[in-house]
Amino acid sequence: MRTLLVYASRYGSTRLIGEWIIERLGFVAEIKDVKKAPAPSAYELVIIGSGVYSEGVLPEINAYIDKYLDVLEEKQVVLYAVCMDVEGVYLKGKIWGGWAYLLPVIKKFKNPPLHAGLLHGEINPAKLSQDDYQRLLSFYNKVLRRQVDKVPYKTMLNKQEAWTFAEKILWRLKKR
Ligand SMILES: Cc1cc2nc3c(=O)[nH]c(=O)nc-3n(C[C@H](O)[C@H](O)[C@H](O)COP(=O)(O)O)c2cc1C
Phi, psi (deg, nearest 5) at residue 117: -170, 165
**In the chain, where are the structural domains located?**
3-121+156-175, 124-154
Please, which residues bridge with residue 81 across strands? 50, 118
Nearby residues of 158 by Cβ (< 8 Å), 6 or more positions away: 119, 120
Q: What pLDDT score does 143 carry?
A: 86
Mean of pLDDT values over 85-101: 96
Q: At 109, is the pLDDT very low, low, confident or very high (cuts 50, 70, 90)?
A: very high
| Beta-carbon count within 10 A of 79 CB | 23
CATH number of 3-121+156-175: 3.40.50.360
Residue 127 is given by DSSP the state T
Measured from the CB, is residue 85 less than 6 Å from ligand 1? yes
Q: What pLDDT score does 145 carry?
A: 86
Q: For ligand 1, atom 16, which residue shows the shortest CA distance?
A: 83
Over the stretch 111-144, which tens digit does the pLDDT of each residue have? 999 999 999 999 999 999 999 999 999 999 988 8
Nearest atom, ligand 1, residue 84 CA: 11
Measured from the CB, is residue 49 less than 6 Å from ligand 1? no
Over the stretch 5-63, which tens digit does the pLDDT of each residue have? 999 999 999 999 999 999 999 999 999 999 999 999 999 999 999 999 999 999 999 99
- Expressed in angstroms and rounded, the spacing between residue 120 Cα and the centre of ligand 1 is 10
Helix (H) or strand (E) holding 80: strand 76-83
Closest CA to 1 of 48, 68, 46, 37: 46
Over the stretch 77-88, which tens digit does the pLDDT of each residue have? 999 999 999 999
Q: Is the confidence at residue 160, as pLDDT, over 90?
A: yes
Distance (Å, whole) CA 16 – CA 150: 26
Q: For ligand 1, atom 31, which residue shows the shortest CA distance?
A: 132
Q: Is the confidence at residue 176, as pLDDT, over 90?
A: no
Q: With contact defined as beta carbons under 8 Å apart, do 118 and 165 qualify? A: no
Nearby residues of 127 by Cβ (< 8 Å), 6 or more positions away: 11, 12
Q: For ligand 1, atom 4, which residue shows the shortest CA distance?
A: 53
Classify strands 89-91 and 94-96 as parallel, antiparallel or unpaired: antiparallel
- pTM across the whole model: 0.97
Measured from the CB, is residue 13 less than 6 Å from ligand 1? yes
Nearby residues of 139 by Cβ (< 8 Å), 6 or more positions away: none
Q: For ligand 1, atom 6, which residue shows the shortest CA distance?
A: 53
Q: With contact defined as beta carbons under 8 Å apart, do 10 and 52 qualify? A: no
Distance (Å, whole) CA 96 – CA 111: 25
Q: What pLDDT score does 45 carry?
A: 98
